[in-house]
A and B are shown apart, each in its own frame.
Chain A
Amino acid sequence: MCLAVPGKIIEIFDEASLKMGRIDYDGTINKACLEYVPEAEIGQYALVHAGFAISVLNEEEAQKSLAAWQELQEKMGAR
């Protein structure tokens, strides 16, 4: 369940007392509610589900995961 897509926060604004963001998905721009990620900042990537940001993506963790899998790739290559 739960189609969620990562997008870059390019603007944060208030709409009817709700914290909202303009989110840039590779050129397509959409609004999302940022109430659940109050610490979010412009330039960060949010994971958005049905118009709500459910997390701010952690770049460090993403890099760590990718690095671990890339190590596997190198190990394969070395065999």
Chain B
Amino acid sequence: MKDEVSPGYPHALAKQEAVTLAHGSGGKFSAELIERFMLPRFANEHLNRLEDQATLALSTNRIAFSTDSYVVSPLFFPGGDIGDLAVNGTVNDVAMAGARPLYLSLALIIEEGLPFSDLERILDSIKRAAEQAGVAIVTGDTKVVERGSCDKIFINTSGIGILADNVRLGAERIEVGDKIIISGTLADHGMTILTSRNKLSFENSLTSDTAPLADLVQAMLQAAPNLHALRDPTRGGVAMTMNEFAQKSGLGFALNEEALPINGMVLAACEILGIDPLYVANEGKLIAVVRQDEADELLAAMRSHPQGEKAAIIGEVTNKNPGLVTLTTLLGATRVVDVPVAEQLPRIC
């Protein structure tokens, strides 16, 4: 679904500075694309072999493997772009198992006419994000589709990470009394995207929080041996993640409205658009469920890490209201935080 034709396309195509169908057809132009754009950025022993697959030797047979596709619009927003999301999103999914992410695959589906300048900007972000996250891009694929068949560029990344023997995280480990901790402020990413889409009224004062969390996770595992579960609240926000845990564990998740950390300007953007921050995507945050006697130490460890400076305990696991997520409001009443049905739309009423 496109709202408008990208102004760069016809111009870039005419000057031969854009991706064309030929670049995806597997022949000379495809090879040129790889040599000109990919290899200079992602050179490593695996990719340089230019085989159809990467052969990897891992130090353990417990691996975490995740895949995700990225279709965000707009491609570029304050704080990052689709390239950052594509790396950090999959790195984080792998890290949520308590694994150390090592390798990513990178598959691009490009709409013909995407200017080289946009492509290079995205690839630069991927390179930077991969370096920051400590992962290597070891295999990839590029396809080009006709105008209108995809929205400028879609990216898929799959990631592999290795798990230490003693790390076993998951909803099945959650117990009554566990504390729920979030690593930082809510709703930064989703509200940045929403306000970026409307440049007519909104100035871009917000910034996406996209960031790799693997390093934070390793620090957390050191500090809290009884860390039970991790998840990153992306689409559907904290509400979705809490409901997933509640349903899987069959326990009640009681949140405290007063404890939810949120930046003043993000909350203001939510107020203006009538959006509930609990349902907004986060791209650089995680939720940890930890045994209660280790909560304070875990919190301290998180707060001394750059990705966890604003970490806060936001609730606890109970046997009341099993399978449901509840919120104690500022006034002291308790209400249910329901599973999100669909993406929240801005409202004026």
Contact = CB atoms under 8 A, between A and B. Distances in A.
Asked if A and B form a direct contact in the complex, defined as CB atoms under 8 angstroms apart, the reply is yes
B271 interface: yes
Interface in A1-21: 1-3, 5, 7
Nearest to A49: B348
Interface string B196-211: 0000111101100000
A3 B265 contact: no
Contact of B265 (A27, A48, A51): A27
A1 B274 CA distance: 11
Interface string B206-235: 100000000000000000000000000000
A63 interface: no
A50 interface: yes
Interface stretch (A28-36, A38-46, A65-73): A28-36
Interface residues of B, number: 20
Contact of B349 (A1, A5, A27, A30): A1
Interface in B154-213: 195, 200-203, 205-206
Contacts of A3: 271, 274, 347-349
A25 B203 contact: no
B197 to A, nearest CB: 14
A2 B206 CA distance: 25
Interface string B275-315: 00000000000000000000000000000000000000000
A3 B269 CA distance: 13
B272 A28 contact: yes
A1 B348 CA distance: 8
Given A3-B274, A5-B271, A51-B201, A27 B264 contact: yes
B194 to A, nearest CB: 11
A26 interface: yes
Contact of B268 (A1, A28, A49): A28
B201 A27 contact: no
A22 B272 CA distance: 14
Contact of A28 (B200, B206, B274): B206
B71 interface: no
Contacts, number: 51
Contacts of A1: 349
Nearest to B264: A26
Contacts of A48: 272
B349 A25 contact: no
Contacts of B269: 25, 28
A5 B201 CA distance: 15
Contact of A30 (B201, B267, B274): B201
Interface in B110-143: none
Contacts of A31: 200-203
A26 B201 CA distance: 16
A27 B205 CA distance: 7
A48 B205 CA distance: 18
Given A3-B274, A5-B271, A5-B272, A28 B348 contact: no
> 5 tightest A-B contacts by CB?
A27-B265, A25-B268, A26-B264, A26-B268, A50-B348
Given A1-B349, A31-B201, 13 more contacts: A3-B271, A5-B268, A5-B272, A25-B271, A26-B265, A26-B267, A27-B268, A28-B205, A28-B266, A28-B268, A30-B202, A31-B203, A49-B348
26 contacts: A1-B349, A2-B348, A2-B349, A5-B268, A5-B271, A7-B268, A22-B203, A25-B268, A25-B271, A26-B267, A26-B268, A27-B205, A27-B263, A27-B268, A28-B195, A28-B202, A28-B206, A28-B269, A28-B272, A29-B202, A29-B203, A30-B201, A30-B202, A30-B203, A31-B200, A50-B348
